[in-house]
């Protein structure tokens, strides 16, 4: 951090087309006593050039100029992401453009009316924000400093680091909140499309179309699309449109119905203003199933136009098919997988996805879905001797999906998870996860999975930011709150995690793992009676017995602890090697813990993905063998 008397250094990030405005701002900042590190050729060169990383690491603040051009610049978004993760980000908007999703939690200073005057209110706000980021009092105007410092000079001389703009690690919400202020005018819930005709066997079609239309809308960075679980709570709501919109906290509702006749479907849609209850737009379209993916994009474009929100692209969502039988098999498999019921339904979903791929080998969404279900089976249900082969199949399907549709977020996240859990390689899977976030950061499910990955990578600020957005987009989804609680546990925010787990269980009292994770947090808080009650309600033996083994040891009841551990070993066996290692670490038996971790690595136990963020392994943190184990797995 720049000390008193030193000139704070600003890294200025902008798109090449905004060079003139960037130059004007840089000159004004330098006249006020800041050192500005910038370059008119910032768009050129190697994307992750060492010089850029060095400059970002040296800057006291990272000032990003958002505009219609820069929100499309990968370079600017990369630099902004580094500034955000280091808590150095000071965002400005040159023309009133919203930052892209992922950068809307910080207050943005609007420069659209600034004409270059250093005494303007907008510029005064910039000076205060940068000074705060630099940990100094606001710089007085009379402290006019010397000549502009070039990138080369700045690299040679170096500079300090910055303090967080929002202070105390907190985030200032965009304008009036995620669904407040201007953003609320562009928030929408896609209600479950009705299955006209009432044939339960056709329900998968209306449900699948609802989900695909929602996904197409979420590709528009200027729309805030409520995710499936929260939107679906209105399925049986008898209230009117205004009541439903108020309940869901959105400005607009998109409702519809689906009727099938052979290979054609008729979809009737209505866009309703949630404030007035009046229809803003309605349309009925007959479409052949072979054109369904282009049709979904057409719906998204029409809705966006009705809300005066420009689509980033008119291209159909990637990864689809024109094979009707393949598409139907995919939708049926998806309906089963979404049940998250048991291994039997997962196996049925696997078979349906395989049928879809047999019908169209280039159906990327089906390959991605098959990869996801195989990873789920390998993580939870596969025998120890089948874990590696099942993950290998999941990786192969993920790669096939990515090869077919590189911009399909579902493909990238499926490959990322299969690589992470299957190869236990946190670094090797980062590229896929980051691409999934890049192409799907308006999708709550993608955000959730990205958050769970980044917390394992100890990118805690990024994980918290992503899960906050996921919860905001899907506030009534118990899985989102369970994930937020898991991230709280990993970041040692046990009290905050308890709130999320309680909320998850309010929404779904039977949610797997939630009772156990709540119990884990209560153990860490020393609330043993409450932890005991929570663990007793957990239906998953592996999670319940692990918690009870640790709890009773902490509570000074060795016989009960030993009894729970014996059941964990006998009843769950080698599928819980990682959990057994957690217990041994908590019991202070480091040698046994390390032996179990080695065995877990041998069978490819996916529990090892939590190894660098797991509080239950903290007793091993200073053990040389444990640190070597982590390095060998490329986790650090």
pLDDT at 635: 67
**How many whole angstroms separate alpha carbon 80 and alpha carbon 45?**
17
Please state the rounded mean pLDDT for residues 212-228: 76
**Range with lowest mean pLDDT among 64-78, 207-221, 379-393:** 207-221
Please give the distance of CA 153 from its chain centroid, rounded to a whole number: 38
**What per-residue confidence (pLDDT) applies to 117?**
75
**DSSP state letter for 589:** -
Percent of the chain with pLDDT over 70: 81
Q: How far is CA 181 from the centre of its chain?
A: 23
Is pLDDT at 569 greater than 90 in this prediction?
A: yes
Q: What is the spatial distance between Cα 119 and Cα 126, in angstroms, rounded to a whole number? A: 11
The phi-psi region of residue 192 (left if phi > 0; otherwise alpha if psi is between -120 and 50; otherwise beta) is: beta
Mean pLDDT of 419-437: 87
Round to whole Å and give the CA distance between 425 and 453.
11
DSSP 565: H
- pLDDT above 70 for 70: yes
Q: Which of the residue ranges 138-152, 332-346, 480-494, 597-611 has the most confident prediction, judged by mean pLDDT?
A: 480-494
CB atoms under 10 Å from CB of 624, counted, come to 7
Comparing 564 with 8, which gets the higher pLDDT? 564
Mean pLDDT of 621-625: 94
Q: Indicate the pLDDT class of residue 308, thresholds 50, 70 and 90.
A: low
Task: Name the residue with higher pLDDT: 427 or 364.
Answer: 364
What mean pLDDT comes out for the span 193-210? 75
pLDDT of residue 179: 34
Query: Which pLDDT band holds residue 410 (cuts at 50, 70, 90)?
Result: very high
pLDDT in tens, 72-87: 888 888 888 888 877 7
pLDDT-based confidence at residue 354 (cuts at 50, 70, 90): very high
216 has a pLDDT exceeding 60? yes
Least confident of 169-178, 282-291, 316-325, 538-547: 169-178
| Cα–Cα distance measured from residue 460 to residue 85, given in angstroms and rounded to the nearest whole number | 9
Per-residue confidence at 211, pLDDT binned at 50, 70, 90? confident
| Predicted local distance difference test score (pLDDT) of residue 153 | 32
Q: Exposed, middle or buried by CB within 10 Å (0-12, 13-18, 19+), for 348?
A: middle
Q: What is the pLDDT of residues 134-189, one digit of tens each?
A: 655 444 443 333 333 333 233 333 332 222 222 222 222 222 233 333 445 678 88
Position 17 scores a pLDDT of 79
* pLDDT at residue 413, as a whole number: 94
> 477-523 pLDDT, tens per residue?
888 999 999 999 999 999 999 999 999 999 889 888 899 999 999 99
Residue 94 has phi, psi (to 5 degrees) of: -75, -30
Q: What per-residue confidence (pLDDT) applies to 575?
A: 84
> Residue 439 and residue 434: Cα distance in Å, rounded?
9
In the structure, what pLDDT confidence band is assigned to residue 341 with cuts at 50, 70 and 90?
Answer: low
Nearest to 390 by CA among 337, 347, 435, 341: 347
> What's the angle, vertex CA 384, arms to CA 458 and CA 455, rounded to 5?
10
Mean predicted lDDT score pLDDT of the chain = 80
For the ranges 134-148, 230-244, 249-263, 267-281, the lowest mean pLDDT is seen at 134-148
In terms of C-beta density within 10 A (0-12 exposed, 13-18 middle, 19 or more buried), how is residue 55 classed? buried
More confident residue, 575 or 291: 575
Highest mean pLDDT out of 46-55, 331-340, 386-395: 386-395
SS (H, E, C) 474-526: CCCCHHHHHHHHHHHHHCCCHHHHHHHHHHHHHHCCCCCCHHHHHHHHHHHCC
């Amino acid at each position: 951090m720049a000390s008193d008397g030193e000139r704070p250094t600003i890294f200025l990030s902008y798109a090449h087309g905004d060079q003139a405005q960037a130059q004007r701002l840089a000159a004004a900042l330098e006249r006020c006593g800041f050192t500005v590190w910038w370059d008119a050729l910032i768009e050129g060169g190697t994307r992750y050039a060492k010089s850029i990383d060095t400059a970002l690491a040296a800057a006291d603040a990272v000032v990003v100029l958002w505009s219609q051009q820069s929100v499309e610049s990968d370079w600017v978004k990369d630099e902004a992401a580094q500034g955000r993760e280091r808590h150095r980000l000071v965002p400005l908007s040159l023309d009133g453009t919203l930052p892209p999703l992922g950068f809307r939690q910080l207050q943005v200073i609007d420069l659209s009316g600034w004409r270059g005057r250093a005494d303007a209110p907008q510029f005064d706000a910039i000076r205060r924000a940068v000074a705060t980021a630099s940990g100094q009092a606001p710089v007085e105007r009379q402290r006019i400093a010397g000549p502009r410092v070039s990138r080369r000079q700045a690299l040679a001389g170096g500079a300090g680091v910055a303090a967080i703009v929002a202070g105390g690690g907190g985030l200032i919400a965009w304008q009036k909140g995620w669904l407040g202020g201007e953003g609320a005018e562009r928030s929408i819930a896609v209600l479950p499309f009705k299955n006209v005709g009432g044939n339960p066997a056709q329900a998968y079609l209306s449900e699948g179309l609802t989900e695909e239309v929602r996904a197409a809308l979420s590709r528009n960075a200027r729309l805030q699309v409520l995710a499936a679980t929260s939107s679906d709570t209105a399925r049986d709501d008898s209230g009117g449109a205004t009541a439903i919109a108020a309940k869901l906290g959105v400005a607009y509702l998109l409702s519809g119905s689906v009727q099938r006749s052979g290979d054609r479907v008729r979809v009737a849609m209505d866009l309703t203003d949630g404030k007035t209850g009046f229809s803003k737009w309605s349309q009925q379209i007959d479409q052949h199933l072979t054109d369904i993916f282009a049709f979904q994009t057409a719906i998204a474009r029409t809705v966006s136009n009705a809300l005066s929100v420009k689509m980033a692209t008119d291209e159909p969502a990637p990864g689809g098919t024109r094979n009707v039988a393949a598409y139907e098999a995919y939708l049926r498999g998806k309906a089963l997988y979404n049940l998250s019921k048991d291994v039997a339904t997962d196996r049925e979903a696997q078979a349906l996805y395989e049928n879809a791929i047999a019908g169209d080998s280039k159906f990327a969404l089906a390959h991605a879905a098959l990869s996801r279900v195989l990873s789920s089976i390998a993580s939870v249900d596969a025998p120890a001797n089948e874990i590696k082969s099942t993950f290998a199949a999941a990786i192969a399907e993920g790669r096939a999906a990515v090869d077919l549709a590189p911009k399909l977020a579902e493909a990238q996240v499926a490959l990322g998870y299969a690589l992470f859990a299957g190869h236990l390689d946190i670094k090797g899977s980062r590229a896929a996860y980051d691409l999934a976030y890049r192409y799907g950061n308006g999708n709550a499910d993608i955000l959730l999975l990205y958050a769970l990955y980044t917390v394992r990578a100890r990118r805690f600020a990024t994980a918290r930011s992503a899960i906050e957005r996921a919860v905001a987009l899907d506030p009534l989804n118990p899985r989102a709150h369970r994930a937020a609680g898991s991230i709280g546990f990993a970041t040692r925010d046990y009290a905050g995690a308890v709130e999320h787990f309680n909320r998850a269980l309010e929404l779904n009292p039977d949610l797997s793992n939630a009772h156990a994770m709540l119990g884990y947090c209560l153990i860490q808080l020393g609330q043993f009676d409450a932890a005991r009650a929570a663990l007793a309600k957990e239906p998953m033996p592996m999670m319940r017995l692990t918690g009870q083994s640790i709890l009773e040891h902490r509570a000074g009841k060795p016989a009960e602890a030993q009894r729970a551990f014996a059941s964990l070993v006998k009843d769950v066996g080698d599928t819980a090697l990682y959990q057994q290692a957690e217990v041994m670490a908590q019991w202070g038996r480091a040698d046994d813990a390390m032996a179990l971790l080695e065995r877990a690595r041998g069978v490819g136990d996916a529990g090892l993905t939590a190894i660098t963020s797991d509080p239950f392994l903290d007793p091993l943190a200073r053990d040389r063998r444990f640190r070597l184990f982590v390095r060998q797995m490329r986790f650090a």
